[in-house]
C-alpha cells in the first residue's frame, strides 16, 4: 500500500495537464537520460571556477532534475517504506546520486525503463534494510 502511494505521488508530481485535460508525464524520462544528467551533475561538482560555469550552462535543468528526483525519491521512500529502504545516518544526497549512477551503469539493459522506478530500485538494492 505504501509503495502504491509513493508511485502515485511521484506520478502526480511529474504529471502536467495538457490542453485537452489529459495528463502527460512531462518530467518523466528514461534511465538513459537520467544517467547522462547525473554524470553531468558529478562533472559540475568536481569543477571550480570557469569550468564549473561552463558545465552548468550545458544542462542546468538536467542536473537539477537528477538531484531532485533522487533526493525526493529517497525522502519519500524513507518515510513511506521504512522497512524496505534504510539509509545509513551519514548518507548525503550526492552519495544517493552516485548509487543510482552506479546502478544504471551496471544495468544497461534497464536504461529504457522509467527513471523514477529505476531510482527506487537502485536505492532499494543498495540501502535495503537488514
For residue 78, the model assigns a pLDDT of: 84
Domain contains 20: no
| Any domain includes 11 | no
Is there a domain that residue 48 lies in? yes
Tell me: the pLDDT tens digits for 8-38? 344 444 443 333 444 444 445 899 999 999 9
Q: How many domains does the chain have?
A: 1
**Mean pLDDT over the full length of the chain:** 79
Q: Is residue 23 part of a domain?
A: no
Where in the sequence is the domain holding 71, given as residue range(s)? 2-6+28-126
Identify the band that residue 130 occupies on the pLDDT scale cut at 50, 70 and 90: confident
* Any domain includes 82: yes
Residue 22 falls inside a structural domain: no
Question: What is residue 130's three-state secondary structure?
Answer: coil
pLDDT, one tens digit per residue, over 52-103 is 777 778 888 888 899 999 999 999 988 898 788 888 999 888 899 999 999 9
Domain membership flag for residue 18:
no
* Domain-embedded: residue 14: no
Does residue 118 register a pLDDT over 50? Answer: yes
The pLDDT assigned to 40 comes to 87
* Helix, strand, coil percent values for the chain (each to nearest 5): 70, 10, 25
Pick the more confident residue, 103 or 44: 103
d(CA 117, CA 7): 8
56 Cβ contact partners less than 8 Å away, ≥ 6 residues apart: 44, 63
Amino acid at each position: 500500500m505504501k509503495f502504491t502511494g509513493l508511485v502515485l505521488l511521484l506520478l502526480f508530481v511529474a504529471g502536467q495537464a495538457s490542453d485537452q485535460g489529459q495528463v502527460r508525464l512531462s518530467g518523466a524520462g528514461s534511465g538513459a537520460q537520467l544517467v547522462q544528467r547525473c554524470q553531468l551533475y558529478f562533472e559540475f561538482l568536481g569543477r571550480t571556477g570557469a569550468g564549473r560555469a561552463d558545465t552548468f550552462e550545458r544542462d542546468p535543468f538536467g542536473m537539477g532534475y537528477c538531484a531532485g528526483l533522487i533526493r525526493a525519491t529517497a525522502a519519500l521512500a524513507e518515510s513511506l517504506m521504512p522497512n524496505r529502504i534504510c539509509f545509513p545516518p551519514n548518507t548525503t544526497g550526492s552519495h544517493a546520486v552516485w548509487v543510482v549512477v552506479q546502478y544504471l551503469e551496471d544495468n544497461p539493459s534497464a536504461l529504457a525503463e522509467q527513471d523514477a522506478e529505476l531510482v527506487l530500485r537502485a536505492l532499494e538494492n543498495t540501502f535495503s534494510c537488514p
